[in-house]
Chain A
């Protein structure tokens, strides 16, 4: 079956530009997560959606980062005024419900800010 998909797979942008990263979760998964993975590190939590609403956005580093999930399926992570420090792999995951259920990860979007 189809897994979690993310587009684009790679994004190169210039400092100060705006970017959008898209995540298409597994059909029927109500929970959706965004993580950020820097080189040599484990994924770090950014934001969690249960349905359409952001249930926990405590991992977003600052107000340049924002995410939406308007219809409870596809989600978009938006980064304004990108900085070189935003360069990382952005991972999306989804799960059936939450808690004890494993999260299924997409292949990630590699963001490079020049």
Chain B
């Protein structure tokens, strides 16, 4: 079985400050990990993914995420937040050792960047 936890429903940060959105996962084998962003009344947009290799993954719009196997975490980060980053963020996992091909998503974290 595969699962994802996003422990924070809401994250507020001031514009220009660094931001972190937390994600932990659980899989039987090894994970593929993804971050998506959802703007109001729009579909999910892919931000970045971890497949293998370097634990620090860089993605779209200046976002990055760090894979930590010992802590089973994949936190999303950005050095300097923008008001336009305000949106709903979802972490997702797929166990590539398993038979499932679908993604399992967390419940989402609403990020609000305050001007």
Contacts and interface: CB of A to CB of B under 8 A. Distances in A.
B115 interface: no
Contacts of A12: none
A38 B41 CA distance: 13
Given A43-B90, A100-B51, A100-B96, A107 B42 contact: yes
A43 B88 CA distance: 12
A66 interface: no
Given A4-B43, A105-B43, A107-B43, A45 B102 contact: yes
A100 B104 CA distance: 13
Interface of A: 4, 31, 33, 35, 40-45, 48, 50, 55-56, 59, 91, 93, 98-100, 102-108
20 contacts: A31-B101, A33-B102, A35-B105, A40-B107, A40-B108, A42-B90, A43-B44, A43-B90, A48-B102, A50-B101, A56-B102, A59-B102, A93-B44, A99-B96, A100-B32, A104-B46, A105-B43, A105-B45, A106-B43, A108-B43
Given A33-B102, A43-B103, A102-B46, 16 more contacts: A4-B43, A33-B103, A35-B105, A40-B107, A41-B107, A42-B4, A42-B108, A44-B105, A45-B103, A50-B101, A56-B101, A56-B102, A59-B102, A99-B32, A105-B44, A107-B43
